[in-house]
Amino acid sequence: MPGEMKMRACFKSAGIFLTCLFFITTACDYGMSSSDAPKAPKFSSAKERQAWVIKTYLPWMEGYSWTYANVPPSDGRFLYDLMIKTKRRSALEMGSANGYSAIWIGMAMEKTGGRLVTIELDQEKAALCRGNIMNTGLSKVVDCIQGDAMLVAPKLEGPFDFLFVDIGPVDVQPFVQAVEMKLAKDFIIALHNIGFAGNYEEMFAYAKSRGWSVESKRTDGGEGFFLITPKPMNL
Ligand SMILES: C[S@@+](CC[C@H](N)C(=O)[O-])C[C@H]1O[C@@H](n2cnc3c(N)ncnc32)[C@H](O)[C@@H]1O
């Protein structure tokens, strides 16, 4: 084959390869796009809006829960009920992802008159979190911050009566310690997924050294939580 023809064949193959690569990467992008989000109708009350969020918005987000490692719906509901039952007023979440659990906590905060600050390391996810919080009408009660929770949290104004550490399979103890000075006297710390107990060994040892109580809570069909409190609370 003369050189020019070889070159053309080569360019053609490269073109086919790049086209295939484009389609494969597009097909593999399971990320959420806020332009696809359900559009909110007009609501006459916060109660009506929350009902829409639970019936329409959260189920849409649940289609992406694998991508963003969100808590399952039953665990989101558990957090919501816990916030209301224990009258939490100032919550801090480390690891927002796209804001799924923040929406559950935020809706509870709307009922208790409290606020949530949620911190996400990844810029794209933090932007999604902000968009989802805005779309669900929770911007007044939920503040999405982009940054490393270990560095951001100690600079926030406390005290926090609820801390949800959900940053993936890492040792969470340094994150709790970084914000310990900001915790209210009657704090509740939640760690997600009782199946991840192995990841929490350092945290449990730390809790024991501080005389704190650790309780595990199963959720209906969910992954459950470890709840850490200064004294046994039987939550
Ligand atoms: C399990 S996902 C959070 C899911 C979310 N809580 C929910 O249920 O909707 C963990 C998130 O923690 C974030 N993350 C990891 N390290 C972090 C850090 N040092 N500070 C803040 N966010 C962090 C990851 O980017 C990831 O989005």
Counting as low any pLDDT under 50, the low residues of the chain are 11, 15, 18-29
What is the pLDDT, as a whole number, of residue 13? 57
How is residue 155 written in tokens? 């600079």
Ligand 1 site-directed mutation target among 32, 61, 122, most atoms within 8 Å of CB: 122
What is the pLDDT, as a whole number, of residue 184? 98
- Rounded-to-integer distance, Cα 149 and Cα 119, Å: 6
What is the pLDDT, as a whole number, of residue 4? 60
Across the chain, mean pLDDT equals 90
Give the residue from 148, 29, 160, 34 showing the smallest Cα distance to 98. 34
What is the pLDDT, as a whole number, of residue 1? 53
Which amino acid belongs to residue 149? A
Which atom of ligand 1 is nearest to 125's Cα?
Answer: 27
> In which order are the strands placed within the sheet that holds 90-94?
142-146, 115-120, 90-94, 160-165, 183-192, 225-229, 213-217
Ligand 1 site-directed mutation target among 58, 80, 120, 130, most atoms within 8 Å of CB: 120
- Rounded-to-integer distance, Cα 64 and Cα 62, Å: 5
18-67 confidence digits (pLDDT tens): 444 434 443 444 578 877 899 999 999 999 999 999 999 999 999 999 99
What is the pLDDT, as a whole number, of residue 33? 80
- Rounded-to-integer distance, Cα 147 and Cα 189, Å: 20
Give the residue from 191, 178, 180 showing the smallest Cα distance to 230. 180
Q: How far is the CA of 148 from the centre of ligand 1 (A)?
A: 10
**Strand 183-192 to strand 160-165: parallel, antiparallel, or no bridges (unpaired)?**
parallel
What is the pLDDT, as a whole number, of residue 143? 98
Q: Where does 44-194 show beta strands of DSSP type E?
A: 90-94, 115-120, 142-146, 160-165, 183-192
The CA R_g of the chain, rounded to the nearest whole Å, is 22
What is the pLDDT, as a whole number, of residue 30? 57
